Amino acid sequence: DTAVSQTPKYLVTQMGNDKSIKCEQNLGHDTMYWYKQDSKKFLKIMFSYNNKELIINETVPNRFSPKSPDKAHLNLHINSLELGDSAVYFCASSPRTHEQYFGPGTRLTVT
């Protein structure tokens, strides 16, 4: 009965590869997010979707492309991976009440 789940938990890949991370929430929330957390623990918003519509798109390289097939899912596809993409990526969901619920994170290592 996990609220926000992400797959995979760990991802090790080489520079130049393309990879996807999947996120699902069973909380019935309208809004979902992708965050990147660097080694200093700073959480940086990347994207936000509300009812499958993109509402926040921060300055992120266009190698990153989010896709929301329905309200409960938000996936992140990354093309041509670079060393600097190594980080922990968190998916989160939110009802309208300004609270967020985070997934367990995907630890991406680019070698």
- Nearest in space to 88 (alpha carbons), one of 68, 102, 72: 102
For residues 84 and 15, what is the distance between their CA atoms, to the nearest angstrom?
Answer: 10
CB-side exposure of 74: number of CA atoms within 13 Å? 31
Shortest reach from residue 23's CB to other proteins, in Å: 11
Scanning 13-21, 38-46, 62-70, 79-87 for contacts with other proteins by CB under 8 A, the matching segment is 38-46
Of 48, 68, 108, 110, the one binding other proteins (CB under 8 A) is: 48
Q: How many residues bind other proteins (CB under 8 A)?
A: 25
Q: Which of 8, 20, 27, 42 binds other proteins (CB under 8 A)?
A: 42
In the list 21, 94, 108, 110, the residue contacting other proteins (rule: CB under 8 A) is 94
Q: Pattern 60-89, binding to other proteins, x per CB under 8 A?
A: ------------------------------
